[in-house]
Amino acid sequence: MPRTSSTRAPGGAVTLQQVATAAGVSLATASRVLHGSGGRRVAEALAERVTTAAAELRYVAHAPAQSLARSRSTVVGVLVHDIADPYFAAIAAGAMDVAREHDLMVLVANTFRDPGLERDYLARLRAQRARAVLLAGSAFVGEPFAEEVAAFAESGGRVAAIGAHGTGIDTVEPDQYGGGRLIAEHLVALGHREIGVITGPAGLATVAQRLAGFTSVVTGPRLVHADFTREGGRAATRELLSRHPELTAIFALNDLMAAGALAALRELGCPVPEQISVAGFDDLPVATDLTPALTTVRLQLADIGARAMRLLLDDEPGGRLVPAPAELVVRDSTGRASTLH
Amino acid sequence: MPRTSSTRAPGGAVTLQQVATAAGVSLATASRVLHGSGGRRVAEALAERVTTAAAELRYVAHAPAQSLARSRSTVVGVLVHDIADPYFAAIAAGAMDVAREHDLMVLVANTFRDPGLERDYLARLRAQRARAVLLAGSAFVGEPFAEEVAAFAESGGRVAAIGAHGTGIDTVEPDQYGGGRLIAEHLVALGHREIGVITGPAGLATVAQRLAGFTSVVTGPRLVHADFTREGGRAATRELLSRHPELTAIFALNDLMAAGALAALRELGCPVPEQISVAGFDDLPVATDLTPALTTVRLQLADIGARAMRLLLDDEPGGRLVPAPAELVVRDSTGRASTLH
DNA sequence: GCGGGGGTGGAAAGCGCTTTCCGCCTGCGA
DNA sequence: TCGCAGGCGGAAAGCGCTTTCCACCCCCGC
């Protein structure tokens, strides 16, 4: 039997052709009515018939076909290290909000901090012809996929990053250096001289920058590297204190590690901030709920994500650098250096 | 060298045709070598030439074109209320992990708890011909988009949900009811009789189920509805206590609200658990870091997300129901009912 | 009254890929 | 020696949509 308008396509979906037939117009007209990109207009009466038919058939355009024909897709990619980490979740949420304003869908790629996976996802985003991609994860020092980024850009997609990822791409640059410095100055002002730092993998640019800011004020702090997580912070704190019991303050390079540090100090029966002060970085929501409430550096994460997405979607030439401020938030986990050692 | 075969397509991307030409084979052969779905094999020598050419040109298949030709895409959708909420972030992370094993990309849609947006995103996921979609957000009581779900399924996509979303679709069902009951039994065993409940919007199925479990043990608790967030919990707690100062325990229907409750009680100078016990639900990572550490109900969120994604991707017939256990985690925020009122 | 122009609908040519045929070539058996 | 089967490369027909032309109609002006 001939394919009348009510016959479902193989996939089960309604096609534009079916809508056109149902409305008694040509394919071209239906397309113009439903997705017409301005250029041409269609008479009221016909347009009406088409929209009615489309609604009745519950027609939804086949996005891949549209992407193909228009050679322009409606998806953007967001590359994060781990969406379950509140840091990235906040950034992603901000970015997604802006994407929605632009009627774009967001493809989220969780790289698990694996540079190989990161490269891989970037290629797949290129395969999807994503209109743009946001590199939200911190760069690794000595960026191994600059080439893949270039390939993406070359094939017509925009790229923006949070934190430096190389020249030529739009960047929102949180003031990691300044933040590290703020914490250092704060602790020094409180009289601390023996300060330990617990930190994530040395390869992360974020880590390097925060640390650089800190050491611009406090030279040669005691340093322990661990996972950039709560557990990492807990382990690092124990190790740090066993090696350097003289410390009066600990700077955790992110709030997650700070939470772990507080847990470790509680286990060790070491009062904060009376005996040891603790400071974090990021000002995640959890910071206020820790005990004592955490002194930290506030980054406006959702806003950073949103701004990066806006950089991706406007049509200005690339290579811009938007700084994002870091702000010291003093709470209860830092106090005057104890003199009772 | 002549840039014949290397002439970039309009979008700037390399096409299969270019690869084929460069390798001196036909389009069909190139396709078979690079994406051949098993059926046919190509002689070693030719295959080699094709793969080499593809690598040199940094060829990546045009995913939309592939979706069109194969009428099957490689993306799945995940619908969440708010990716910045750790509850959803954990579920999404679990789901994404499984998706990666299957070489699928994940389109995350943030619905901001807006049923309209939810419907809308579902339609757009259908437009993308997403292979499957995971409804991770709690249903609203009286599900307003069953129709849209049906349309999605009808057009060939699979649908799974976390928590009941209607019959016929695969469901991972966390034991919300049982969890509510566990908390109730725990509090009653500790001697509490005057228990207040602070809760999210009445329209959320999750809320209704947790509450039902609780009231199956404790009848007619004092109830305050608020946002399902920390701030909501804080406000609700203040209101609850001002109206019912006789309460000896508060059950917050999620951990975020519980964090708010603890904050409020701290502000009111009300010791926990000595004067008032507090219990939460979800066992988010933050639960251990609250002070006192939160008694709550553990849901294996990442695992739930992963299982739901597996339901979507195997080829079994739909309509299955996978229960996910809830487990009581007793920490320090609950204690024997105070008798000093 | 007739020619020309503006506006609107439709036919058709792709977009980049998959996949069905088709036909050639090789090698084997009679 | 010839026929035939099997294997493998290539031509071509779509997949559902956009968009360029083309054709047509109607209206206006001379």
Is the CB of residue B93 less than 8 Å away from at least one CB of chain A? yes
The model's pLDDT over B162-194, given as tens digits with 9 standing for 90+, comes to 987 777 789 999 999 999 999 999 999 999 999
DSSP-assigned letters across all residues of A59-95: ----HHHHHHHHT--SEEEEEES-TTSHHHHHHHHHH
Which distant-in-sequence residues (6+ apart) come within 8 Å of B301 by Cβ?
A: B87, B90, B91, B94, B282
CA distance, residue B151 to nearest chain A CA (Å):
8
Tell me the pLDDT of chain B averaged across its residues.
90
Choose among A82, A84, A129: nearest Cβ to B63.
A129
Q: How many inter-chain contacts (A to B, CB under 8 Å) are there?
A: 162
Statement: residue B7 has pLDDT above 60: no
Cis ω on the peptide bond leading into residue B292 (within 30° of 0)? Answer: yes
Q: Diameter of chain A by CA atoms?
A: 93
A322 close to A173: Cβ distance less than 8 angstroms: yes
CA–C1' gap, A28 and D21, in angstroms: 13
Establish whether the linkage from the previous residue to B323 is cis, with ω within 30° of 0: no
- The Cα A336–Cα A249 span in angstroms is 10
Q: Which of A92, A93, A90 has the alpha carbon at shortest distance from A109? A: A92
The whole-number pLDDT of residue B42 equals: 74
SS3 at position A206 = helix
| CA count, 13 A, side-chain hemisphere, B115 | 14
Nucleotides of C under 7 A from a protein CB: 8-12, 14-20
Q: Which residues of A touch B294 (CB under 8 A)?
A: none
Q: What are the respective helix, strand and coil percentages of chain B, to the nearest 5? A: 45, 15, 40
> Could you tell me if B258 and B86 are in contact, meaning their C-beta atoms sit under 8 angstroms apart?
no
CA of A279 to C1' of D19 (A): 60
Q: Which pLDDT score is estimated for B141?
A: 61
- pLDDT of residue B4 exceeding 70, the answer is no
Can you point out the beta strands (E) in chain B? 75-80, 105-110, 132-135, 158-162, 170-174, 195-199, 222-225, 249-252, 277-279, 296-298, 321-324, 327-329
Residue B86 token pair: 């750790």
Q: Do B286 and A291 touch (CB under 8 A)?
A: no
Q: Do A96 and B110 touch (CB under 8 A)?
A: yes
Grade residue B142 by pLDDT with cuts at 50, 70 and 90: low
* CB spacing of B64 vs A63 below 8 angstroms: yes
- Does the distance separating the beta carbons of A109 and B107 come in below 8 Å? no
Measure the CA–CA gap between A259 and A286, rounded to whole angstroms: 9
Contact B208, B140 (CB under 8 A): no
| B274-303 pLDDT, tens digit each | 999 999 999 999 999 999 999 999 999 999
Using CA of residue A219, residue A223, residue A226, residue A232, what is the dihedral sign? negative
pLDDT in the model for residue A60: 92
Residue B50, SS3? helix
Task: Report yes or no: A91 at the B interface, CB cutoff 8 Å.
Answer: no
Burial B144-171 (b: 16+ CB within 10 A, else e): ebeebbebbbebbbbbbbbbbbeeebbb
Confidence at B340, pLDDT banded by 50, 70, 90: low
Choose the mutation target among A96, A112, A290 for the interface with B, i.e. most B CBs under 10 Å.
A96
A140 phi/psi in degrees, rounded to 5: -90, 145
A86 contact residues in B (CB cutoff 8 A): 84, 86, 89
Asked if strand D comes closer than 7 Å to A10 Cβ, the answer is yes
Question: In this complex, is the C-beta atom of A109 within 8 Å of any C-beta atom belonging to chain B?
Answer: yes
- Strand D reaches within 7 A of the A69 CB: yes
Residues lining strand C at under 7 Å (Cβ) are A 25-29, 32, 40-43, 46, 65, 68-69, 71; B 9-11, 13, 15-17, 27-28, 31-32, 34-35, 37, 39-40, 59, 61-62, 65-66, 68-70
Residue B199 backbone dihedrals phi, psi, to 5 degrees: -145, 160
Token pair, residue B181, equals: 């009951």
Cα–Cα distance measured from residue B27 to residue B21, given in angstroms and rounded to the nearest whole number = 8
Calculate the alpha carbon distances from B205 to B118, B121, B176, B212, B233 in Å: 15, 20, 10, 10, 18
Per-residue pLDDT of chain A (341 residues; tens, 9 = 90+): 333 333 344 457 899 999 999 999 999 999 999 987 666 777 888 889 999 999 999 999 999 999 999 999 999 999 999 999 999 999 999 999 999 999 999 999 999 888 889 889 999 999 999 999 999 986 766 566 778 888 888 888 999 999 877 777 899 999 999 999 999 999 999 999 999 999 999 888 899 999 999 999 999 999 999 999 999 999 999 999 999 999 999 999 999 999 999 999 999 999 999 999 999 999 999 999 999 999 999 999 999 999 999 999 998 887 899 999 999 999 999 999 976 55
Which of A105, A110, A230 has its CB closest to that of B107?
A105
Residue B145 has pLDDT above 60, yes or no: yes
**Which of A 131-150 lie inside 8 A of B, CB atoms?**
none
Is the separation of the CB atoms in A209 and A176 below 8 Å? yes
pLDDT at B255 over 90: yes
Mutate to test the interface with B, among A7, A15, A68 (most CBs of B within 10 A): A68
Q: How many CB atoms lie within 10 A of CB A205?
A: 18
Two structure tokens written together for B31:
């396709």
Q: Are strands B296-298 and B327-329 parallel, antiparallel or unpaired?
A: antiparallel
pLDDT of the residue at A3: 34
What pLDDT does residue B192 have? 97
| Best A18, A35, A73, A110 residue to mutate vs chain B (most B CBs within 10 Å) | A110
Residues of A with Cβ-Cβ distance to B67 under 8 angstroms: 64
Q: What is the pLDDT of residue A10?
A: 44
Answer yes or no: is B41 CB < 7 A from strand D. yes
Whether B43 sits with its Cβ under 7 A from any strand D atom: the answer reads yes
Query: Which alpha helices (H) appear in chain A, and where do they start and end?
Result: 16-23, 27-35, 44-57, 63-70, 86-101, 115-127, 146-154, 176-189, 205-215, 230-243, 255-267, 301-313
Q: Looking at the partner chain, which of B65, B105, B117 has a beta carbon nearest the beta carbon of A68?
A: B65
pLDDT band at B5 (very low <50, low <70, confident <90, very high): very low
Looking at residue A170, what is its pLDDT? Answer: 92
User: Which chain B residues touch A288 with a CB distance below 8 Å?
Assistant: 263
Closest nucleotide relative to residue B43's CA, C1' based: D8
Are the CB atoms for A134 and A75 separated by under 8 Å?
no
